[in-house]
Amino acid sequence: MTTEQAKADTRSLPQTIRDQLREDILRGVLPPGTQLRQENLAERFGASRIPVREALRQLEAEGLVSYQVNRGAVVIAMSTTEICELLDIRAALETYAAKLAVPNMVAADIEAMKRILASYDVATTPAEWAECNRQFHLALCAPANNARLRKMIEEYCLSTTNRYPHLRMSLDTEKGDVQRDHYEIVDACKRRAVDEVVTLIERHILDTKREVMAAARHAKA
């Protein structure tokens, strides 16, 4: 039994396929522009096209896959400009969410964020970092009690922009820098320092934007 088949024993098949494909996309195994043929994926996972189709639909909702005429499902490719535009939008949405969320936070919210960061500390791959990062930012905005705002942050910003910095920035420095920011944000949340949380989140996201722009410049050079 393969590792991928073993995972299917404890999760639904569409979820197993989705999680493996997400990891492949985040790790760069499936780079932007890769065509995801349902028949090939069905053969790879030993499944019919139905769970494959559902997995691709979920990845489309996360902003990792799009459907193109005559090509089917394709890993989304975004320009540096598009990524930076989304990071600007993400900064606006997350800072607004923080203004709503921080006054509502209780001890359980702080502990939930700390548990995610503990998982982040021991994570070793860019895919794991990206998932922990996603979970942390969603936990941060959850006490805002605004489902539509959370959905916008998750579907239109986090899932799409989350993968690029982890693929482009230095693996030696990026994780530590991001985690320092995260712990500072949690500390400010614990103190209910709303303005400080807003400032830290904005700086955190816009630092990512600057890193993406710098990586693009160096890649051209």
- pLDDT tens digit sequence for 1-48: 354 554 444 458 999 999 889 878 877 788 888 999 999 999 999 999
- pLDDT tens digit sequence for 85-121: 889 999 999 999 999 999 999 999 999 999 999 999 9
- pLDDT tens digit sequence for 20-32: 898 788 777 888 8
Give long-range contacts, CB 8 A cutoff, 24+ apart: 13-16.
13/45, 13/47, 13/51, 14/51, 14/52, 14/54, 14/55, 14/58, 15/55, 16/45
Confirm or reject CATH 1.20.1250.20 for domain 80-220, answering yes or no: no
Q: Residues spanned by CATH 1.10.10.10 within the chain? A: 3-75
Which H/E stretch holds residue 66? strand 65-68
User: What CATH code is assigned to 3-75?
Assistant: 1.10.10.10
Tell me how far apart the alpha carbons of residues 193 and 8 are, in angstroms, rounded to a whole number: 44
